[in-house]
Chain A
Amino acid sequence: MKSFRIGGIHPKENKFSAGAAIQQADIPATVAIPLAHYIGNPSEAIVKRGDTVKVGQQIGAGSGFISANVHASVSGKVRKIDVQLDATGYRRPAVFIEVEGDEWLETIDRTPDIVRGCSLGKEEIIQKIQDAGIVGLGGATFPAHVKLMPPPGKKAEYLIINGVECEPYLTCDHRLMMEHGEEILIGTTILMKALGVDKAIVGIENNKPDAIEHLTRLATTFLGITIQPLKVQYPQGGEKQLIDAVLRRQVPSGKIPIEIGAVVFNVATTFAVYEAVQKNKPMIDRVMTITGKDAPNASNYRVRLGTYLSHVVEQAGGIPEGTGKIVGGGPMMGRSLMNLDVPMAKGSAGVLFMRDEESIRKPSQNCIRCAKCVSVCPMGLEPYLLMAYCERNMWDELESNRTMDCIECGSCNYTCPSHRPLLDYIRFGKSTVGNIIRNRNNK
Chain B
Amino acid sequence: MSLVWISLITLGVIGSVSAIILYVVAKKFHVEEDHRIDLVEEVLPAANCGGCGYPGCRNFADACVKADNLCDLHCPVGGNETMAKVAEILGLVAVEKAPMVAVVRCNGTCEHRPRNNEYDGVKHCFIAHNLYSGETNCSWGCLGFGDCELACDFDAIHVNPITKIPEVIDDKCTACGACVRACPKDLIELRKMGPKGRRVYVDCRNQDRGHIVSKACEVGCIGCAKCQKVCKHDAITIENNLAFIHDDKCKLCRDCVIVCPTNSIIDVNFPRPKQPKVAVEEEVSQ
Interface residues of A (CB under 8 A from B): 83, 88-91, 335-336, 338-339, 360-361, 364, 421, 424-425, 427-428, 431
User: What mask results when residues 98 to 138 of chain B are scored 1 for a CB within 8 Å of chain A, else 0?
Assistant: 00000000000000000011001110101100111110000
CB distance from B211 to the nearest CB of A (A): 11
Contact of A91 among B116, B120, B124, B208 (CB under 8 A): B208
| B134 adjacent to A428 (CB under 8 Å) | no
Contacts of B69 in A (CB 8 A): none
A89-B139 contact in complex given A83-B208, A428-B126, A428-B127, C-beta closer than 8 Å: yes
| A338 adjacent to B212 (CB under 8 Å) | no
| A89 adjacent to B132 (CB under 8 Å) | yes
| A88 adjacent to B131 (CB under 8 Å) | yes
A88-B208 contact in complex given A360-B120, A424-B122, C-beta closer than 8 Å: no
| B212 adjacent to A424 (CB under 8 Å) | no
| A89 adjacent to B127 (CB under 8 Å) | no
A425-B127 contact in complex given A89-B132, A89-B139, C-beta closer than 8 Å: yes
| B122 adjacent to A335 (CB under 8 Å) | no
Q: How far is the CA of A427 from the CA of B131 in the complex (A)?
A: 9
| A88 adjacent to B133 (CB under 8 Å) | yes
| A339 adjacent to B116 (CB under 8 Å) | yes
Contacts of B212 in A (CB 8 A): 83, 91
A90-B127 contact in complex given A338-B116, A338-B117, A339-B116, C-beta closer than 8 Å: no
Contacts of B127 in A (CB 8 A): 421, 424-425, 427-428
CB distance from A386 to the nearest CB of B (A): 14
Contacts of A364 in B (CB 8 A): 122
Nearest B residue to A390, CB-CB: B127
CB distance from A347 to the nearest CB of B (A): 16
Q: How far is the CA of A154 from the CA of B255 in the complex (A)?
A: 67
Contacts of B121 in A (CB 8 A): 361, 421, 424
20 A–B contacts from the bound complex (CB under 8 Å): A83-B212, A88-B132, A89-B133, A89-B134, A89-B139, A90-B139, A91-B212, A338-B116, A338-B117, A339-B117, A361-B121, A364-B122, A421-B121, A421-B122, A424-B122, A425-B122, A427-B127, A427-B130, A428-B126, A431-B130
A361-B120 contact in complex given A424-B127, A428-B127, C-beta closer than 8 Å: yes
Contacts of A339 in B (CB 8 A): 116-117
Sample of 19 more A-B contacts, CB < 8 Å, known A91-B208, A338-B117, A424-B121: A83-B212, A89-B133, A90-B133, A91-B139, A335-B131, A335-B132, A336-B132, A338-B116, A339-B116, A339-B117, A360-B120, A421-B121, A421-B122, A424-B127, A427-B127, A427-B130, A427-B131, A428-B126, A428-B127
Q: How far is the CA of A89 from the CA of B117 in the complex (A)?
A: 11
Q: Which 5 A-B pairs have the closest CB atoms?
A: A89-B133, A338-B117, A89-B132, A88-B132, A421-B122
Contacts of B208 in A (CB 8 A): 83, 91
Q: How far is the CA of A83 from the CA of B130 in the complex (A)?
A: 20
Q: How far is the CA of A431 from the CA of B126 in the complex (A)?
A: 10
Q: How far is the CA of A37 from the CA of B126 in the complex (A)?
A: 23
Nearest A residue to B121, CB-CB: A424
Q: How far is the CA of A8 from the CA of B134 in the complex (A)?
A: 32
Contacts of A338 in B (CB 8 A): 116-117, 132-133
Contacts of A89 in B (CB 8 A): 132-134, 139
Contacts of A424 in B (CB 8 A): 121-122, 127, 131
Q: How far is the CA of A170 from the CA of B122 in the complex (A)?
A: 27
CB distance from A90 to the nearest CB of B (A): 5
Q: Which residues of chain B in 223-244 are interfacial with respect to chain A, using CB atoms and an 8 Å cutoff?
A: none
Q: How far is the CA of A145 from the CA of B228 in the complex (A)?
A: 50
Q: How far is the CA of A17 from the CA of B180 in the complex (A)?
A: 49
Nearest B residue to A387, CB-CB: B122
Q: How far is the CA of A361 from the CA of B130 in the complex (A)?
A: 18
Contacts of A83 in B (CB 8 A): 208, 212
Q: How far is the CA of A425 from the CA of B127 in the complex (A)?
A: 7
| B130 adjacent to A428 (CB under 8 Å) | yes
User: What mask results when residues 126 to 161 of chain B are scored 1 for a CB within 8 Å of chain A, else 0?
Assistant: 110011111000010000000000000000000000
Contacts of B117 in A (CB 8 A): 338-339
CB distance from A341 to the nearest CB of B (A): 11
Contacts of A425 in B (CB 8 A): 122, 127
CB distance from A389 to the nearest CB of B (A): 14
Q: How far is the CA of A424 from the CA of B119 in the complex (A)?
A: 13
Nearest A residue to B135, CB-CB: A338
Contacts of A427 in B (CB 8 A): 127, 130-131
Q: How far is the CA of A64 from the CA of B61 in the complex (A)?
A: 48
Contacts of A91 in B (CB 8 A): 139, 208, 212
- Looking at B116, B120, B122, which has the most chain A CB atoms within 10 Å of its CB? B122
Nearest A residue to B128, CB-CB: A424
Contacts of B134 in A (CB 8 A): 89
Q: How far is the CA of A339 from the CA of B115 in the complex (A)?
A: 12
- Looking at B116, B121, B130, B139, which has the most chain A CB atoms within 10 Å of its CB? B130
Nearest A residue to B184, CB-CB: A428
Q: How far is the CA of A83 from the CA of B127 in the complex (A)?
A: 25
Contacts of B124 in A (CB 8 A): 428
Q: How far is the CA of A83 from the CA of B206 in the complex (A)?
A: 14
